[in-house]
Amino acid sequence: MQTIIRPSRPSRPRRPFQVAGLLFGPALLGTGATGASPSTPVASTSTATLKPISQVALQTMVASTARQMLIPGAVVLLRTPQGEFTAAYGTTQLGTTTRPDINTYFRIASNTKTMTAAIIVQLAQEGKLKFSDPVSKYVTGVPDGDHITIAELLEMRSGLYNYLESPKIAATADRDMSKVWTPAELLAIAFAHKSNFAPGADYEYSNTNYILLGLIVEKIDGKTLAKAMRVRLFEPLGLRHTTLPPSNVTALPKPYSHGYMYGSASVAFTGTPPYSAAVKAAARAGTLLPTDYTNLNTTFGWAAGGAVSNASDLATWIKALVSGRLFDAQYQRRWIGSLRPEDPKKPRGQQYGYGIILLSWGKNSMYYHGGETAGYNSFIGYDPANKVTLVVWTNLTVTVDEVPTANALMLKVLDRIYVVSPLTPTPDPRASH
């Protein structure tokens, strides 16, 4: 039996704001190039697991892949012991020739979760909350709130309904891009539905969890989430181009990229409806242009997916987060140790923890998150064993075949730089038993 990592669309509603649909091979998750446990990321100067990297070849691959996927614009920022490599393609706005680069602003969507989670971990480190605290201690009116812990919110194990699966959000986005959503409105949508399982009983990606975490940050820290992120995260790390915008601001800072998607916002939020054969044909023929979602008010994401940044800042951010610049040694171990298999029946499958995901193949491991919203798709990852930082973003959410665009590019980049490719079919050792 073989398991292949591939970009795909699951049959159930997709994870909004997240690189979704990756099926990871049977490699032991959490085992880095040095055989380390996931509880302790290992830094090494060894490049034995990396191929020689060619700037020309990387640029050629990114351009050809983006062109094939009908992506208007894309950026890849790669940092390894061999140096920094960037590849950019296309334009930031259809009808122009403005090439994006690592300083171009875009909506980072669910990569925001890494930031919200980081503040929660800092508050725990400061003794201001416990991961075992019930959510009801800080937010009232949460179904089963006395039994849902902060850890379960962080790990996507609360069972709470994901408000973005409600058709109301996408329908409103298509009808009125300027609509400002409050956390209370989003939670009201979520709480109108029954929970999908008992707290801690299962894993299910739900943006509702991170809206609640944002409210907890504001209650404990005594400041807005935007200010908490700026003071606690962005200023100490020198991230001058990363913000959680005010609710009434939909314009992006300059220079920015427009964001595009074919069809309804529901394609990004829930993965439905699928593109028809006619839509696919028209898009490929160039007679159908994608919708511009640049100025969509993303307050529906807020703590779960509302931030804006650029590739340069995000490369600094993900490396700092994984390498231990945000927490002390004890809480860095707790943050890394929070990773657990999303599916207990697949212990070697993808793991989710406190706002972070673990991707592993062969003896390689990368800590990452992804972001998907109407108009944009992105990936941020760091491999501490091989000192590899990778940021990918595109200004088309999914292809007409409904493949997350940054996801597909990310896999091709990893295929090009690692000796063991994540795209290579890997025999499952259990098949011979």
CA–CA separation, 19 vs 369, rounded Å?
7
User: Which domain does 163 fall in, by range?
Assistant: 2-373+386-432
Q: What was the pLDDT predicted at 10?
A: 32
Q: What was the pLDDT predicted at 8?
A: 32
398 within a domain of the structure (yes/no): yes
Q: What was the pLDDT predicted at 426?
A: 52
* Tokens encoding 404: 């997350």
CA–CA separation, 411 vs 428, rounded Å?
20
In the numeric block, the tokens 């049977």 are attached to 26
CA–CA separation, 69 vs 63, rounded Å?
10
pTM given for the model? 0.90
283 within a domain of the structure (yes/no): yes
Strands 2-3 and 426-427 turn out to be: antiparallel
Sign of the C-alpha dihedral computed for residues 296, 299, 305 and 309 taken in this order = positive
Q: What is the mean pLDDT of residues 331-357?
A: 94
380 within a domain of the structure (yes/no): no
Instruction: Report the percent of the chain where pLDDT is more than 90.
Output: 83
CATH value at residue 260: 3.40.710.10
Q: How confident is the model at residue 16 (pLDDT cuts 50, 70, 90)?
A: very low
| Model confidence pLDDT, tens digit, residues 355-410 | 999 999 989 999 999 999 999 999 999 999 999 999 999 999 999 999 999 999 99
381 within a domain of the structure (yes/no): no
406 within a domain of the structure (yes/no): yes
Q: How confident is the model at residue 347 (pLDDT cuts 50, 70, 90)?
A: confident
Q: Is residue 432 pLDDT above 60, yes or no?
A: no
For the chain, the domain total comes to 1
CA–CA separation, 305 vs 210, rounded Å?
9
CA–CA separation, 33 vs 341, rounded Å?
20
Q: How confident is the model at residue 5 (pLDDT cuts 50, 70, 90)?
A: very low
**Count of Cβ atoms closer than 10 Å to residue 31 Cβ:** 18
For residue 47, the one-letter residue type is T
21 within a domain of the structure (yes/no): yes
7 within a domain of the structure (yes/no): yes
Mean confidence (pLDDT) of the chain: 88
Q: Is residue 46 pLDDT above 70, yes or no?
A: no
